[in-house]
Amino acid sequence: MKNVIVINVIMLCIGMQVNCALDFEKTRTAYTVKIFGFSWENCGKPDDPAVLKTLTLSPDPITVPGDLKASASGNTTVELAAPLAVNVTLEKEVAGFWVKVPCVEEIGSCHYADGCDLLNQLIPPGQDCPEPLHTYGIPCHCPFKAGMYTLPESDFYLPDIDLPYWLTNGHYRVQGVLGAMGKELGCLKITFAVHSNN
């Protein structure tokens, strides 16, 4: 996916795609979550080497747990190798103002020193990439060679998740900035609304 690391890390941080190998002491029990109005945009500089070209998710709303269709494409003009710093800023709309959500238990507005290490925690090195990444030859570990990455429309199942107690109903926006050696490589901004039945 493009940029593979930015998307995976952001989805890790909002608990959408991967059942994080993180242990939350203060969580709600699993319940149905609906994610409405998902949108995205590149927020980097015009010459950033890592750029998301397309990203389509359906249905709207996205139901967790539930089925998801996704397609994506992107490219990087440089090899993406460890360490890849990832800065995530998560904001929630409160009374018409955007309020920064602090980093709690490694979820929220957090700095990750190496996104490659996060991917290794989710998918141990030496293990095949999960489907459909494996089928389409999309890597899930660093380094990511320079080039174009395309994920045709594919089916995913989003499992039950335990959201942090503070991730409640509301409108959110997430910005992820990927960098290495003090240089910005890419930036992605996502907006969405969360509604739960709990």
Q: Answer for the pair 25, 162: CB distance below 8 angstroms, yes or no.
A: no
pLDDT-derived band of residue 6, with 50, 70 and 90 as boundaries?
Answer: very low
pLDDT tens-digit readout, 82-128 = 999 999 999 999 999 999 999 988 889 999 999 999 999 999 988 99
> Exposed, middle or buried by CB within 10 Å (0-12, 13-18, 19+), for 83?
middle
pLDDT at 13: 37
* Percent of the chain whose pLDDT exceeds 70: 83
3-state secondary structure of 160: coil
- Residue 60, pLDDT > 70, answer yes
Question: Which structural domains are found in the chain, ordered by start?
Answer: 4-196 (2.70.220.10)
Sign of CA dihedral 93, 99, 104, 109: positive
Using CA atoms, how far apart are residues 122 and 100, in angstroms rounded to an integer?
26
Using CA atoms, how far apart are residues 169 and 110, in angstroms rounded to an integer?
21
Using CA atoms, how far apart are residues 121 and 143, in angstroms rounded to an integer?
15
Buried residues in 43-72 as b, exposed as e (16+ CB within 10 A): ebeeebbbbbeebebeeebbebebebebeb
Alpha-carbon distances of 135 from 102, 154, 188, rounded to whole Å:
37, 11, 25
pLDDT at 152: 96
Q: Answer for the pair 174, 194: CB distance below 8 angstroms, yes or no.
A: no
Average pLDDT of the residues in 57-76: 94
pLDDT tens-digit readout, 10-52 = 433 333 333 333 333 333 444 688 999 999 999 999 899 999 9
Using CA atoms, how far apart are residues 24 and 113, in angstroms rounded to an integer?
20
* Percent of the chain whose pLDDT exceeds 90: 67
> Exposed, middle or buried by CB within 10 Å (0-12, 13-18, 19+), for 183?
exposed
Report strand pairing: 66-76 vs 147-158: antiparallel
Give the count of alpha carbons within 13 A of 185, CB side only. 27
pLDDT at 183: 92
Whole-number average pLDDT of the chain: 84
Sign of CA dihedral 58, 60, 64, 67: negative
